[in-house]
Amino acid sequence: MGDYPQLEKVKEECAACKACELHKTRTKSVFSAGVPNSKIMLIGEAPGFNEDQQGEPFVGRAGQLLDKIFESVGLSRQKDVYICNTIKCRPPDNRDPLPEEKAACRRFLDAQLEILKPQIILLCGRVAVNSMMETKLGITKIRGQWFKGDFSWGEPQMMPIFHPSYLLRNQSREKGSPKWLMWQDIKEIKRAVDAL
Ligand code: URA
């Protein structure tokens, strides 16, 4: 993160944060992985067990699948993507983040967005969608569609996508299955990246 001293400062604040109860049970706060200077930002839900242990997002089974999905179109977290979560500390037993936890943590995500100004934002799963978009529609209805973000710093393209944990629970690759739909979505994402 050498080229982004502001972001480094926010990461340090995040590591010391005690704004919600989750700091009491965390091993490490989980700020980001991947490349800050990247066109794509992926926003997931919250750290799980492995992420809490290692201090890096998407390193467990879901993360390995996420890496494979990116690699299937020639993208990688080492080169092309900045990865973070809606909240930075693991909720006990991987429960959904509480509204007060999301509110307390929001400034970190807002800072990541404002400093990095990604051109493409992938909203990975229901929790990320609900944090970033005002919609009552479920992820199955809106995944794969582009929405225009409306931020003080710009109007990035935003796409809801399935969470890889959901894909791990739905193994079929048949036409119309969640995995097949994700394959369509990642191809569309690659097309959009190449068009930037
Ligand atoms: N699931 C998420 O949403 N984020 C992670 O970092 C790991 C699993």
Give the Å distance between the CA of 56 and the centre of ligand 1. Answer: 9
Q: Which residue from 82, 85, 96, 126 has its CB within 8 A of the most atoms of ligand 1, so it is best to mutate?
A: 85
Contact 94, 85 (CB under 8 A): no
The pLDDT value given to residue 2: 55
Per-residue pLDDT 10s for the chain (196 aa) are 558 999 999 999 999 999 999 999 999 999 999 999 999 999 999 999 999 999 999 999 999 999 999 999 999 999 999 999 999 999 999 999 999 999 999 999 999 999 999 999 999 999 999 999 999 999 999 999 999 999 999 999 999 999 999 999 999 999 999 999 999 999 999 999 999 9
Nearest CA to ligand 1 atom 7: 58
CB distance 144 to ligand 1 below 6 Å:
no
CB distance 48 to ligand 1 below 6 Å:
yes
The pLDDT value given to residue 3: 82
Give CA–CA dist 191/41, Å, rounded: 16
pTM of the entire predicted model: 0.97
* Burial profile 3-30: b = 16 or more Cβ within 10 angstroms, e = fewer: eeeebeebbeebeebebbebeeebebbb
Tally of structural domains, the chain:
1
CATH number of the domain within which 139 lies? 3.40.470.10
CB distance 85 to ligand 1 below 6 Å:
yes
Note down the domain range covering 133. 5-195
Give CA–CA dist 64/61, Å, rounded: 5
CB distance 97 to ligand 1 below 6 Å:
no
